[in-house]
Structure 1
Amino acid sequence: MIEWYKIAMFQNYSNFSGRARRSEYWYFRLATAVIFFALIAFAGLLAIVAGGALAFQIAMAIFFIYILLSVIPSLAVTVRRMHDLGKSGWNVLISFIPLVGPIWFLVLLATEGEHGENYYGPDPKSTIEEIDEIGINN
């Protein structure tokens, strides 16, 4: 999980080309959510322990800095995920359609990518990598 997060957050943080596997996308989202809630908990705990609004504001400032730092990598991995499906990155805008948009976008994100090379690049998921990922060769 941490490897996928490091790849999306630090190595491919501004790479909007290529393709991202489902595991890369979802592990990045999971790690981001864990960090997100940990920073909120830290801010609340610091406010209780330190007993002041200043400590809480400092912790929340750290939280918002993390959010700002993760916006571009988050968008980049989402666009690469759309590329894995053979769709343009502009399909991210589907999520802004009221009611139906977020549901349809979630279905797209959970759909398996196209096998083989497509317009956006080679298939990031090969048979050997898939076998290694599930632990058959380990």
Structure 2
Amino acid sequence: MTYSDVGVPRTGLSQPLYGAGMGQAISRFFKKYARFKGYASRSEYWWVALAQFVLYMVLGGIYGVVFASLMENSPNMDTYNTGMSAGFEAEGGAAVALMAVSLVNLAVALALLIPTLALIWRRLHDAGFPGPFYFLGFIPVVGPILLLVLLAIPTRQEKHQTIWADPTND
């Protein structure tokens, strides 16, 4: 134990880490990859949400640059044609680059799908709601807003249920 550890409560992965920093939140996000039982603090959730937002913005920017260069160099783009356009043809290296960026984007999204769903599930538990409330987000227009509000609600320990607790106790 070092002097910097004095007074800092040690919490295992089975407990939420209130006041987590970005590095701690991301580390716990991957360590609790597919744990739907337990709780996640607001800081654990929002730091990961911010990191994912930045990651997807960077990937989207790269995709946009590659796509724009592909559109600019496409021989079949006729901007003055008022009729139906044939679109663009992806040829050579540009087509490979566009496909590679698309596959990286897909791989990242698939790799983060389960841990993100598990984190949202645990965050809902910590706010006092059952995990399946996640599916409220699929209601058109109001669902995502409602889910965002539920995820922002502070911890309500009086609403925690034993069935939601993480049995691993690590």
Q: TM-score, normalised by structure 1?
A: 0.76
Amino acid at match of 1:118: H
Is the Cα contact below 8 Å between 2:62 and 2:101 reproduced in 1? yes
Q: Which residue of the partner structure matches residue 126 of structure 1?
A: none
Q: Bigger CA drift: 96-105 or 74-83? A: 96-105
2:28 aligned residue: 7
Aligned AA (1:101): G
Alignment-mate amino acid for residue 64 of structure 1: L
Structure number with the higher helix fraction is 1
Q: 1:109 aligns with which of 133, 151, 160?
A: 151
Q: Which has the larger radius of gyration?
A: 2
Structure 1 stretches lacking a partner, 5+ long:
123-138
Percent identity reads: 35
Structure 2: where are the runs of 5+ without partners? 1-21, 71-91
2:165 paired residue number: 121
Counterpart Cα distance in 2 of 1:72 and 1:35? 17
SS at match of 1:52: helix
Which 10-residue stretch deviates more, 26-35 or 41-50?
41-50
Q: Which residue of 2 aligns with 1:127?
A: none
| 1:40/1:60 contact within 8 Å kept | no
Q: What is the letter of the counterpart of residue 165 of structure 2? A: G
TM-score by length of 2: 0.63
The alignment yields a C-alpha RMSD, in angstroms, of: 2.4
How far is the alpha carbon of 1:111 from its aligned partner?
0.6
Secondary structure at the aligned position of 2:129 is classed as coil
Secondary structure of residue in 1 paired with 2:140 = coil
**Number of matched residues?**
121
- Answer whether contact 1:44 1:56 (CA < 8 A) is retained: no
Could you tell me which of 123, 126, 133 is aligned with 1:84?
126
* 51-60 or 84-93, larger mean C-alpha shift: 51-60
- Structure 1 residue corresponding to 2:60, chosen from 29, 40, 62: 40
